[in-house]
Amino acid sequence: MPALPADGEINWGSKLNEFLRVSHREDGKLLGVYEVINVHDFGAKGNGIDDDTGFIQAAINEAQKQKFGATVYFPSGNYLLRSPEGNRAALSVTKSNIRLTGAGSSSILQNVTIAKDQQGNETGDGHAVIAISANPEITNIEIDHLTLKNAGETTTSDLAGLALIYITAGGQCHQLKFHDLELETRNRAAISFGTIVNGFWIYNNNVIGIGETGFYIAGKPSLGFICNNILRGVHPTTAIAPAISVRNSTDLLIAGNHIENYNHSGIVLRDELSNRVQIVDNRIYNLPAGAVGIYIHSACNVTVAGNIIDQIPLDVKEKYPTNGILVHSSNVKYPTQNITIRGNKILNGGGYAIKAEKSIDATTPQNIVIENNEIIECQSGIQVDRLNGANRIYGNYVTHDVAGSFAPLDIQSLGSGKLLVAENLLHNVGAISGTPTEARNNTIW
């Protein structure tokens, strides 16, 4: 393998030439070194007044012409954008090995476009800032150290078209990174996936003003990390929806996120293809009545551990009181199974802290483990209903002095499954409601 000559080596000149030949591209630049393209060099002003869309897209197009990719850099400024006619995003990335980066929160990209209906009337919906399109395949896209904003308010149910960053349907994407972003939206999502994505990282982002969903991860994504993000929902009018919504995902870690959604649920994992998912060490605060802190819906092989869910309002007048962690099976073909809920802390809830159940005519949840959780001052503790397989409620601490509260442990029915209830510390009159298959060493006071 060619290498730099050692100290004192004879014929070092020819060896150095060989090293330089293999370590440089044909244009003389080092291999692995990206071009850095400054949007100001293409005419973008970033003054918050002039439309910079065409200039920035020209810079991106130039980056996409580079054989080995390039970085597009946004100096500090407020870059005003508008979606081109017929598009629902201001900017488009269609080639691999592209990075869009800036100076941090002071590099602001704002799409001010308001969508119109077929009659040409404004709908109130905003448009995306950046669309990533794989046709048929795209890899190694990174967007970081920018502030992204759009305009309008949510009035439709189309998640993908209204995200700040959205991955369009069709094709496959690989190795996507979105980090250190300020994402300010009152539309449907901050980041949305609509196609197959293999390998993605969403981390260290700050989402403010979630229209409905902070991150909407669909399209059969795999090998993903959603970590250390802050999501604050402050939208006053939209229906309840999750800060992080994941569908049909495999091999996923959701960890270390701070979710403070006054009008939304926390984390939702749904659909039968969701498999091998870990939801750990998240902090979820201030959910409304009717919301769920963490919702596992028709998924399998899921671990929910070390999360804190706090300050869920106590409002027994609501038809659907808040649940801390809900495991639910509603699919007629695929059961929710192999779910471990361990070491979580749930406080001040208005419904069940932890609940596992199924819909009528759906497959029955099975192999549910609920252990070493701490449940304090919730309206009710743990409820299980119609379980199959081998299930365990073990080593939990449940105390609630809330007036009118139900039993800390409520066993509705077991179906054909078995349930071990052991080593729990339970505080309330009545304690265990229902009969487990086996109960031992529970402390009730």
Looking at the domain assignment, is residue 416 inside a domain? Answer: no
Lowest mean pLDDT among 58-72, 142-156, 231-245: 231-245
pLDDT confidence of residue 125: 67
Q: What is the mean pLDDT of residues 374-390?
A: 87
Cα 233 to Cα 100, 119, 155, 213, 281: the distances in Å are 26, 32, 17, 9, 20
Highest mean pLDDT among 6-15, 43-52, 132-141, 397-406: 43-52
Length of the chain: 445
Q: Would you say residue 435 lies in a domain? A: no
Q: pLDDT digit string (tens) for 265-319?
A: 899 998 767 899 999 999 998 877 777 899 998 889 999 999 999 866 554 434 4
Stated as kind and residue range, the H or E segment containing 14 is helix 12-23
Q: Is 58 buried (19+), middle (13-18) or exposed (0-12) by CB count in 10 A?
A: middle
State which residues form the domain around 137: 33-389
Confidence category of residue 1, pLDDT binned at 50, 70, 90:
very low
Residue 182 falls inside a structural domain: yes
Helix (H) or strand (E) run with residue 165 in it: strand 163-167
Quickly list H helices, 34-153.
53-65
Structural domain includes residue 6: no
CATH of the domain at 71: 2.160.20.10
The pLDDT value given to residue 31: 54
SS3 309: strand
Residue 400, domain member (yes or no): no
Q: What mean pLDDT is reported for the chain? A: 83
Query: Would you call 35 exposed, middle or buried from its count of C-beta atoms within 10 A (0-12, 13-18, 19+)?
Result: middle
Residue 7 placed within a domain: no
d(CA 164, CA 109): 10
State the total domains in the chain: 1
Express each pLDDT in 12-47 by its tens digit. Answer: 666 556 555 545 556 666 655 668 999 999 999 999
Q: Does residue 305 form part of some domain?
A: yes
User: What percentage of the chain carries pLDDT values higher than 70?
Assistant: 77
Apex 138 CA angle, 141 and 110, nearest 5: 45
234 pLDDT band, cuts 50/70/90, is low
In a domain, 364, yes or no: yes
